[in-house]
Amino acid sequence: MSFCDTIWEEVAPLRQSILAHPFLAELADGTLSPEAFRHYIVQDSLYLAEYARVLAIAAARAPTAAGRMEFSDGAKVAVQVEEVLHQAFFAQFGVTADMARTAEATPECLGYTSYLASLAATRSYEELIAGILPCFWVYWEVGCAIKPRASSPNPYGAWIDTYADPSFGAATDRVRALVDEAAANGTPATRAAMKTAFCNATRYEWMFWDSAHRCAGWPI
């Protein structure tokens, strides 16, 4: 079994919790409240801006041309998704320019992006890209799981189509190959740290959807 297959199995309970989360069940059947989705897309645009920066750092640190290509491309795609997909959703769900401009990152959004930024700043390249991977892989799994059971028409159809798109699956495969390569070249301690980063980022993915479902902000 590859390193990625092993850590994917280890986060199986987290993935089950993600796939069973009411935010995604309701998104699939179209009953998710517009408020919850609005909360999600506003936070996600804040997330994507930071995630793109983290990918750009990964590109700069990558030891191979394949890594530099993949992560710089990913950084560009993250900015494009932030602009194109989100602007369309902003219009559809009534997020005004003012709401988007003044939005403050929630604890979950700030926690996730700050965690990835801390990997980029103070940890190894191997840990960094292990922390980057769940963003790709979890969304690909979720997109593929939801698409066959999505209601039609569905107000969230464009979101589902984005993450169930085969080109997105191919990008996930390529990032996974980079993580496997990094793990194969690393020490057991590096691989243990990579597993921790992968697991924590997967937890943050669940927390991100959960906070959107509760429309939660800062408690104080």
Ligand X SMILES: Cc1ncc(C[n+]2csc(CCO)c2C)c(N)n1
Residue ranges binding ligand X (CB under 6 A): 44, 47-48, 51, 74, 77-78, 81, 135-136, 139, 205, 208
Q: How far is the CB of 135 from ligand X (least distance, A)?
A: 4
Q: Which is nearer to ligand X, 3 or 204 (CB)?
A: 204
Q: Which is nearer to ligand X, 47 or 125 (CB)?
A: 47
Q: Which is nearer to ligand X, 143 or 186 (CB)?
A: 143
Q: How far is the CB of 208 from ligand X (least distance, A)?
A: 4
Q: Which is nearer to ligand X, 89 or 125 (CB)?
A: 89
Burial 37-58 (b: 16+ CB within 10 A, else e): bbbbbbbbbbbbebbbbbbbbb
Distance CA 204, CA 200 (A): 6
Q: How would you class 182 by CB atoms within 10 Å of its CB: exposed for 0-12, middle for 13-18, buried for 19 or more?
A: buried
Q: How far is the CB of 183 from ligand X (least distance, A)?
A: 20
Rounded to a whole number, what is the distance in angstroms from the first to the last CA of the chain? Answer: 46
Q: How far is the CB of 87 from ligand X (least distance, A)?
A: 14
- Residue among 216, 167, 73, 53 at smallest CA distance from 120: 53
Q: Which is nearer to ligand X, 119 or 135 (CB)?
A: 135
Place of tokens 């159809």: 157
Q: How far is the CB of 188 from ligand X (least distance, A)?
A: 29
